């Protein structure tokens, strides 16, 4: 018995299987990273289970990459760094992490410490307890009133339209069980919104409250414009409802226009041509033009995404992966 054990390849004994993979997308976070390292690693060490941290450098233009490589040197064996060839966005970065993650539980975390890494053990506990996706709801959310209100509206609307039920789509501190990660890895969409995608595949999801802090270092990497684009990804990626709503609106408006034209015709026969109503007519015309333009826009949103899918361009390009093992050599 003892002999067979001794004959086993060395690494099978010295390298316990990774149980927890933590994935952190990073974009220009040089100010936050030192604070993140200071809190993340002790929180993970405290769990006393084999873990790995995968940082994805999403095309940062500051000192992010050297800082990540430093962290990897300090903790070889548990830290891996993926260096993207440009800025492909937070969700693509997380997908790259999913592809590499070895753990049976995979946790995603923002680098800016708005969600405390100390919550990770609680989330892993939920997975151990049988949940396959652990979502989080930001308790006392510390963002601008505008962001909070906008996100409340978006969350409600998204649930109505996609038929999913999530309280907080924006909070990225989440945990996933291995089987869900495998399914996500198999789906090759170019515009993926991770929490919604996972929710779709989950069989026993749960949401827990976690605290939320103000971003202390650096600025949010999302401008208003990027947020709107992201939400279009979410909406179009999970339902055809906007498209169908447009069609219904088109039918309704056409029907009303026919009635309106009939009314004008009858009025002309009995009352004679009207000149004063010109501006009313203009107003109506402008309204219809607005409707038409937004309809074309929404159709364009889908066509654009179909275009992206058929091009089959890679979702992200990795310049280099700094693997844990090679740091030891």
Return the range that interacts with ligand UDP (CB under 6 A); candidates 26-34, 129-137, 229-237, 272-280.
Answer: 26-34
Return the range that interacts with ligand UDP (CB under 6 A); candidates 22-30, 190-198, 259-267, 319-327.
22-30
What is the number of helices (H) and of strands (E) in the chain?
12, 8
Binders of ligand UDP among 252-271, rule CB under 6 A?
none
232 binds, among Mg ion, ligand UDP, none (CB under 5 to 8 A by kind): none
Q: Which stretch binds Mg ion (CB under 5 A): 34-42, 107-115, 255-263, 278-286?
A: 107-115
Q: Least separation, in Å, of the C-beta of 143 and ligand UDP? A: 7
Residue 170 Cβ, how far from Mg ion at the closest point, in Å?
A: 9
Our finding on whether 221 is near ligand UDP (CB under 6 A) is yes
Of 144, 149, 220, 223, which one interacts with ligand UDP (CB under 6 A)?
220
Figure out which of the listed residues 111, 113, 123, 324 binds ligand UDP, where binding follows CB under 6 A.
111
- Closest approach, Cβ 56 to ligand UDP, in A, equals 7
Q: Provide the sign of the torsion angle of the four alpha carbons 187, 193, 198, 199, taken in this order.
A: negative
Token couple for 321: 């992966």
Identify whether the C-beta of residue 166 lies closer than 8 Å to the C-beta of residue 135: yes
30 binds ligand UDP (CB under 6 A): no
136 sits near ligand UDP (criterion: CB under 6 A): no
| Strand pairing class (174-177; 105-108) | antiparallel
Provide CB contacts within 8 A for 169, sequence distance 6+.
151, 154, 155, 158, 193, 195, 196, 234
151-159: long-range contacts (C-beta < 8 A, 24 or more apart)? 154/231, 154/234, 157/235, 158/196, 158/231, 158/234, 158/235, 158/238
How big is the chain, counted in residues? 329
Q: Does residue 81 contact residue 68 with C-beta atoms inside 8 Å?
A: yes
Strand bridging mode 133-139 / 174-177: antiparallel
* Only segment of 20-28, 260-268, 293-301, 310-318 that touches ligand UDP (CB under 6 A): 20-28
Which of 79, 114, 190, 236 is the binder for ligand UDP (CB under 6 A)?
114
Based on the shown chain and the rule CB under 6 A, indicate whether residue 87 belongs to the binding site for ligand UDP: yes
CA distances from 272 to 258, 260, 263, 277, 301 (A): 19, 16, 12, 12, 45
Residue 269 to residues 51, 147, 273, 282, 288, Cα–Cα distance (Å): 82, 55, 8, 22, 26
- Contact between 89 and ligand UDP (CB under 6 A)? yes
Q: Between residues 77 and 237, which has the closer beta carbon with respect to ligand UDP?
A: 237
Candidate ranges 4-12, 86-94, 174-182, 189-197; the one touching ligand UDP (CB under 6 A): 86-94
The DSSP bridge partners found for residue 259 are none
Residues that bind Mg ion in the complex, under the rule CB under 5 A:
112, 114
Residues that bind ligand UDP in the complex, under the rule CB under 6 A:
25-27, 29, 58, 87, 89-90, 93, 110-112, 114, 170, 220-222
């Amino acid at each position: 018995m003892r002999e067979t054990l001794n004959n086993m390849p060395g690494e099978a004994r010295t390298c316990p299987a990774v149980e927890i993979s933590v994935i952190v997308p990073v974009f220009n976070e040089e100010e936050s990273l030192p604070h993140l390292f200071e809190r993340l690693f002790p929180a993970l060490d405290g769990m006393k289970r084999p873990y790995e941290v995968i940082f994805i450098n999403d095309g940062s233009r500051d000192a992010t990459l050297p800082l990540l490589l430093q962290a990897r040197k300090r903790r070889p064996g548990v830290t891996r760094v993926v260096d993207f060839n440009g800025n492909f966005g937070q969700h693509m970065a997380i997908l790259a992490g999913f592809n590499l993650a070895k753990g049976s539980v995979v946790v995603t975390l923002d680098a800016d410490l708005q969600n405390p890494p100390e919550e990770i053990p609680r989330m892993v506990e939920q997975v151990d307890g049988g949940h396959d996706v652990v979502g989080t709801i930001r308790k006392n959310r510390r963002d601008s009133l505008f962001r909070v209100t906008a996100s409340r509206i978006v969350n409600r609307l998204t649930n109505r339209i996609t038929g999913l039920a999530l309280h907080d789509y924006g909070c990225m501190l989440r945990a996933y069980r291995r089987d869900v990660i495998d399914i996500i890895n198999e789906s090759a969409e170019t515009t993926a919104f991770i929490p919604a995608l996972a929710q779709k595949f989950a069989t026993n999801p749960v949401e827990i409250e976690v605290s939320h802090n103000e971003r202390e270092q650096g600025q949010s990497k999302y401008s208003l414009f990027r947020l709107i684009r992201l939400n279009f990804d979410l909406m179009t990626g999970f339902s055809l409802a906007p498209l169908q709503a447009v069609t219904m609106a088109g039918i309704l408006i056409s029907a009303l226009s026919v009635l309106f034209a009939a009314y004008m015709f009858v009025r002309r026969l009995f009352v004679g041509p009207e000149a004063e109503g010109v501006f009313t007519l203009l107003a109506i015309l402008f309204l219809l033009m607005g409707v038409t333009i937004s309809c074309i826009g929404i159709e364009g949103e889908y066509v654009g995404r179909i275009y992206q899918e058929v091009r089959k361009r890679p979702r992200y390009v990795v310049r280099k992966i700094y693997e844990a093992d090679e740091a030891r050599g």
